[in-house]
Amino acid sequence: MKKMRKLLCLALALAMVLALAACGEAGGDASGGFKVTFYDSDGTTVLAEVNAEEGQPVAEPELSKEGYVIQGYYATPALVIPYDMSAPVTEDTSVFVAWQSSVADERAWMLAGSLAGYPDNGWGMAWPQDDFLLQPVEGEFNVFAIEVNLYEGDQFKIAVIDQDYNWADTIDASHLVESEYFAGGEDAFNSGANIVVAQSGLYKLVLKTDAETISLCSLSAERLGDAAELAAPEFDFQLQGTFNNWGEDPESFKMLKNGDDNIWYYLLTVTEADYDTQNDLDAAMFGVKNLVNGDWYDLRNMDPAATPNFIVPAGTYIVWLEIELKDNQTTVKNFFVEEPAYYVVGTCGNAGWAADANAENTAYKMQAQDDGTYKLDVTFTEEETEDWTEGNVAFKIAYGAGGCVANEYWYGDAAGENILVAPGSYTIVFDPATGAITY
């Protein structure tokens, strides 16, 4: 009986050992650790399998690939989230290896953007490019750098751009090392999100590249100090569109400045000969370009969701652009393309003067006549007088749209002053050919 008990105890002990062994195999390998599988950057090719003890970091395997060096280890095949090789392993794990080419990068990397401090850059249109090329860092492999003054609101990319303005490899916001000084913005030239400057300063931009894989390139920035005082921006606006072969002649269709204000305008006449026939449009297409720095202006300046460029059928239009400057930074305050008309404005109507030159003000809109003049039949009331007019109604004729009138499109008496009349009914006739007004 005692012998049987001993045999039963031995059998029970053996069963417990086998059960414990089975449990161990379910949580890792036979040694009690976990398996770490190293994959190539394609996400499927196994390069190595390494056992890691539970709670300990995995040992880096000896890996090699002809013509490449290891750039880093990642937690996903997209090679975006780094894998911490010093972290303790607590389960079977996959690690993805990124390889960096050992080929020297001989590309000419250029800073290109809308840069307040460098208006001649013009999104990389400057040629020669010398002032905007990142230079190789001595003693570093495939590392390039440039020191530049950047200002809040500037947008840029780093790109390879040839003399014909063809963009090749591009470094956008997705390549940016996390920084408090920069953020991602809109997409310029369908080449990824722009890098937007959040804080003005003198920066050293450092680009680390891979000669063969653009996704392995990274851009970091060091703020060296305050930016140099920014000079006032310059403007030279030109309409560019199907009617002038998109600005082929840089002296054509130049916008006019409205006095000392930051307002520019142009009276545009479109004919069917100006239509965008290449895109089968029964309309002309155009935008506005600042020839100083290459900045482009269209409907998206007022509504980011709008389609690019203005599209208009045959007709006459006033193109109106008003710029606002804050700390020498440019923003668009008002921008429209509308058909202008002649209006009687002054203390009459809404007493809005220029603001009354709008399509809704039909009661004071003059009508075209067969002889080329414009006429308005109107009755002025005492409510349309002011104290300073001494019981009279003061008016002028304005040629405008959208509540805006250029200085040259105001018409008054022979001296250009307001016309004063007593309340009553009038037929006002204006002759654009001579500027004469009768009533």
DSSP string, 54-108: TTSPPPPP---BTTEEEEEEESSTTS-SB--TTSPP-S-EEEEEEEEE-S-----
User: What pLDDT band is residue 293 in, cutting at 50, 70 and 90?
Assistant: confident
Give the C-alpha separation, 232 to 329, whole Å. Answer: 9
Q: How many helices (H) and strands (E) would you count in the chain? A: 1, 29
User: In the predicted model, is pLDDT for residue 170 greater than 70?
Assistant: yes
Whole-angstrom CA distances from 55 to 83, 88, 90, 91, 245 are: 16, 5, 6, 9, 68
Shared fold status for 237-338 and 341-438:
yes
User: In the predicted model, is pLDDT for residue 235 greater than 90?
Assistant: yes
Read off the pLDDT of residues 312-337 as tens digits, 9 standing for 90 and up.
Answer: 999 999 999 999 987 677 889 999 99
- The helix (H) or strand (E) run that includes residue 330 is strand 329-338
- CATH class, 110-225 region: mainly beta
User: In the predicted model, is pLDDT for residue 311 greater than 90?
Assistant: yes
All structural domains of the chain with their residue ranges:
34-101, 110-225, 237-338, 341-438
Give the C-alpha separation, 78 to 173, whole Å. Answer: 17
Whether 176 contacts 219, CB under 8 Å? yes
User: In the predicted model, is pLDDT for residue 17 greater than 50?
Assistant: no
**15 contact partners, CB below 8 Å, separation of at least 6:** none
- Give the CATH H-level superfamily of domain 341-438: Immunoglobulins (2.60.40.10)
Q: How far apart are the first and last CA of the chain?
A: 137
Whether 57 contacts 113, CB under 8 Å? no
Please name the residue that has the structure tokens 């075209």.
368
Read off the pLDDT of residues 243-278 as tens digits, 9 standing for 90 and up.
Answer: 999 999 999 999 999 999 999 999 999 999 999 999
* Mean of pLDDT values over 28-46: 83
User: In the predicted model, is pLDDT for residue 127 greater than 50?
Assistant: yes
- CATH class, 237-338 region: mainly beta
In the three-class reduction of DSSP (H, G, I as helix; E, B as strand; rest coil), residue 136 is classed as: strand
Whether 313 contacts 322, CB under 8 Å? no
* Mean of pLDDT values over 47-57: 95
In CATH terms, is domain 34-101 a member of 1.20.1440.230?
no
Output DSSP code: residue 365.
Answer: B
Give the C-alpha separation, 301 to 288, whole Å. Answer: 11
- pTM of this structure: 0.58
Confidence at residue 188, expressed as pLDDT on a 0 to 100 scale: 52
